Amino acid sequence: MGVFTYETEFTSVIPPPRLFKAFVLDADNLIPKIASQAIKSSEIVQGDGGVGTIKKITLGEGSQYSYVKHQIDSIDKENFVYSYSLIEGDAISETIEKVCYEIKLVASADGGSIIKNTSNYHTKGDVEIKEEQVKAGKERASGLFKLIENHLVANPDAYN
C-alpha cells in the first residue's frame, strides 16, 4: 500500500468561523440546497454526527459517480479543522483503499480565509496516483467552495 499526498489552497472573503459553520457544521443541509447538481442529499448511516460518524452522500446528476460514504475523523471547532475519510462508493476504484482529507481554515490578512486542503490517497499495492488523476476532484472542490462563498456573500446574516 502506498500513500500519496496532495495539497491545495483556496482563498475566500468569508472569515473562518462563518465559513466553517456553513461548509462543515451545516454542510449536510446547505450544500444540497445550493449545489443540488453536485450533491443531492447527505444522510447519517451510523453515529451521531461527531467523530466516527459515517455519512452517505448521494451525488447529483452532474456527477460521474452516484454515491460516496465519508467517515468523520475529527472536528476541531476552535481551530477550524475538519478531517474525514472517503471509505466507500463508486468514486473509489479498485486501486484506491480510501482517501483521507483534512480541511483547515486560517484567517487571512484581509479578513477572509485561506482554505488549506490536504488529501492522502491510500492505494492498494504499488499503484501510483498522478496529479492529473486528482485534478478534477480539486476543481470540483474549488467550485463547491465558490458556491458556498457566493451564498454567504449574498446572505450576509447567514451563519453568523
- pLDDT, tens digit, for every residue of 104-121? 999 999 999 999 999 998
Distance of CA 56 to the CA centre of its chain: 13
Pairing of strands 67-76, 81-89: antiparallel
HSE at residue 132, side-chain half, CA atoms within 13 A, is 0
CATH of residue 141's domain is 3.30.530.20
Number of folded domains that form the chain: 1
- Whether residue 59 is contained in a domain is answered as yes
- Whether residue 31 is contained in a domain is answered as yes
Segments of the chain scoring below 50 in pLDDT: none
Q: What is the model's pLDDT at position 154?
A: 97
- Whether residue 160 is contained in a domain is answered as no
Which residue's C-alpha cell is 468514486?
91
Rg over alpha carbons for the chain, rounded to the nearest Å, is 15
Q: What is the model's pLDDT at position 1?
A: 67
- Whether residue 159 is contained in a domain is answered as no
**pTM: predicted TM-score of the whole model, two decimal places:** 0.89
- 154 CB neighbour count, 10 Å cutoff: 9
- Whether residue 30 is contained in a domain is answered as yes
